[in-house]
Amino acid sequence: MKIRAALLLKAPILGTVKTRLAASLGGEEAKRIYIQLVEWQLSQIPDSWGIDIHFAPSTALKQMEEWISPLKTQKISFFSQPDGDLGVRLSVALQNSFSQGADRVALMGGDCPELTFHYLQIAEEFSISFDATIAPALDGGYALLILNQYYPSLFQNIPWSTSIVFSDTKQAMKNLGLKVHDLAVVEDIDDLDSFQRSRLRSG
């Protein structure tokens, strides 16, 4: 069974990445941390997985290819993200990755150091037996979502960037009658507090 990682990423452009972290540490340091986080995440994705990069802005294709392609041995596909909220972008990313011939798609970002190779292997194993496999985040969102098909309602009417994203998504899954497995809770990095907590958790 084929699984593809669909990563939603921004081009590492000063002033546009990790803006909440930049408010505390400055733009250059936030950009450096962002690049480090993304490269770490890519290093943890199993070589047996396909990889799709869903990037923004749409003009950054060459920049993303030159940055990302040398980091992995497998061929990487690139898609520009559409306009719209996170739900729209996740929905389109999922459809694009399934169009690459995947049986399952793992939606993720590049800012969760706890999505290690071992964690992803465990997630992949559970995803064989479940319709949805999800990694809740400490901030009330989620950092990884593996689906066995496209379920549009999972990305509709969700209050993105709030503390109830995970709970509302779980309710949407329940409404669909999906068989769901919750993975261990993880910390993704959005601001200085989460960055410092993540360092303590990994230390």
Assess contact for 64 and 50: CB atoms under 8 A.
no
pLDDT attached to residue 132:
98
pLDDT band at 18 (very low <50, low <70, confident <90, very high): confident
**pLDDT tens track for 129-150:** 999 999 999 999 999 999 999 9
The answer to whether position 202 is within a domain reads no
pLDDT attached to residue 145:
98
**pLDDT tens track for 159-172:** 999 999 999 999 99
Specify the CATH number for the domain of residue 133.
Answer: 3.90.550.10
Count of domains in the chain? 1
**pLDDT tens track for 111-134:** 899 999 999 999 999 999 999 999
- Phi then psi for residue 177, to 5 deg, are 75, 30
Average model confidence (pLDDT) across the chain: 92
The answer to whether position 201 is within a domain reads no
The answer to whether position 80 is within a domain reads yes
The answer to whether position 94 is within a domain reads yes
What's the CA gap between 25 and 188, in Å, rounded? Answer: 17
The answer to whether position 69 is within a domain reads yes
Q: What is the mean predicted confidence (pLDDT) over 84-105?
A: 95
Q: What is the 3-state secondary structure (H, E, C) of the chain?
A: CCEEEEEEEECCCCCCCCHHHHHHHCHHHHHHHHHHHHHHHHHHCCCCCEEEEEEECHHHHHHHHHHHHHHCCCCEEEEECCCCCHHHHHHHHHHHHHCCCCCEEEEECCCCCCCCHHHHHHHHHHHHHCCEEEEEECCCCEEEEEECCCCHHHHCCCCCCCCCHHHHHHHHHHHHCCCEEECCCECCCCCHHHHHHHHHHHC
The answer to whether position 187 is within a domain reads yes
pLDDT attached to residue 22:
82
pLDDT band at 200 (very low <50, low <70, confident <90, very high): low
What does pTM read for this prediction? 0.93
- Helices 117-129 and 27-44 cross at an angle (nearest 10°) of 60
What's the CA gap between 26 and 58, in Å, rounded? Answer: 25
pLDDT band at 190 (very low <50, low <70, confident <90, very high): confident
Range of the domain at 27: 3-196
pLDDT attached to residue 193:
67
% of the chain with per-residue pLDDT over 70:
93
pLDDT band at 188 (very low <50, low <70, confident <90, very high): confident
Q: Which residue has the higher pLDDT, 196 or 176?
A: 176
